[in-house]
Amino acid sequence: MRKIQLLVALLFMLVSSYAQQEAQYTQFMYNKLTLNPAYAGSAGQPCISCLHRSQWIGFEGAPSSQVVNFHMPAFSKKVGFGASLSHDKIGPTHSYSTALMYAYRIKLKKGILNIGLRTSLRFYQVNWTDLEATHGGDTDIPTTNTSRLLPNFGTGIYYENEKFYAGISTPNILNNDLSHDYLISNSDLGRSRRHLYLMSAYLFKVSGNVKFKPAVLVKYVHNSPVDADLNASFIFMDKLWTGLSYRFGGDAYNGIGESVDLLIQYQISPSIRAGAAYDFTLSKIRNHSSGTVELQLEYCIQPKKEKPVSNPRFF
């Protein structure tokens, strides 16, 4: 019975509204390539990162996401290339995506302006066999799994210097059709929706060993309220990042937001950085789950011909 109720809720969110559909990440400031293709190559060296997110732990059918990103500069750092593999799961639905990114980097007087393009292919599958019907033999519930192959493309702009970055992007421009003829009569209600992201951060020097970095991610989907994540992080001795985030949204009844999040990152070596985040859910889902956990690991390859990086990049 719980599985059927979850399916109804998921289908309602998917086909009856244009709300946030793409995966969200608490550590968005360290996972910018997923949101903005123009970030490709901005680390100044080849970097590979992986991230796992388990949302609403203990809630049956809750979202789960995994992503692996790789990007690098090329041609004297005038361009950047990137690639991404990701998997998202919500209830009986699975989404597997692969994407390629290209960024053209324009050196300005006080920073670098990146213009990026992204092309992707998404395999979207609904495992109807994972569901249990309340009454056996119900012909309205499909007995076989269904899938779709969905191409897409996106674009973005990203500006950066040593103390500031700002970017705007839409990773998936096409509103792909996710509907199934026997379930949804109006395919316009079963479409993925174009998401717009605006991100920015600034680095303040508090003392010789302490820096302060506020960051923001604004998310917009047509016909939905503007959503946002606000983060404030302190950096100690260029090695330890600790931060607190607040995510707007949540349910319409309490109006206090979706979550309050704790973040920590540690620079293990000049090449390796590990991070974790925990979300304290504020919406009514908190009564049925144990919060959200996110883990991340990044490895950057330092070119042998160049001087090793003594301090980590903060963006």
> pLDDT (tens digit, 0 to 9) for every residue of the chain, 315 residues total?
444 344 444 443 343 334 557 888 999 999 999 999 999 999 999 999 999 999 999 888 889 999 999 999 999 999 999 999 999 999 888 999 999 999 999 999 999 999 999 999 999 988 877 777 676 666 666 667 788 899 999 999 999 999 999 999 999 999 887 765 544 444 555 677 889 999 999 999 999 899 999 999 999 988 778 889 999 999 999 999 999 999 998 766 667 889 999 999 999 999 999 999 999 999 888 888 899 999 999 999 987 765 554 456 777
Structure tokens at 267: 């620079």
pLDDT for 200: 97
pLDDT for 87: 96
The answer to whether residue 309 sits within a structural domain is no
The answer to whether residue 140 sits within a structural domain is yes
The residue to which tokens 């779709």 are assigned: 148
- H/E stretch holding 131: none
* Residues 137, 140: Cα–Cα separation, whole Å: 9
- H/E stretch holding 114: strand 112-126
The answer to whether residue 313 sits within a structural domain is no
What are the two backbone dihedrals, phi and then psi, of residue 11, each rounded to the nearest 5 degrees? -65, -35
- Helix, coil or strand: residue 73: strand
The answer to whether residue 19 sits within a structural domain is yes
Q: Do 178 and 124 form a contact (C-beta atoms < 8 A)?
A: yes
pLDDT for 306: 56
Write the CATH number for 20. Answer: 2.40.160.40
Quote the number of domains for the chain: 1
pLDDT for 147: 85
The answer to whether residue 308 sits within a structural domain is no
The answer to whether residue 305 sits within a structural domain is no
The answer to whether residue 129 sits within a structural domain is yes
Domain encompassing residue 229: 2-300
The answer to whether residue 312 sits within a structural domain is no
The pTM score is 0.86
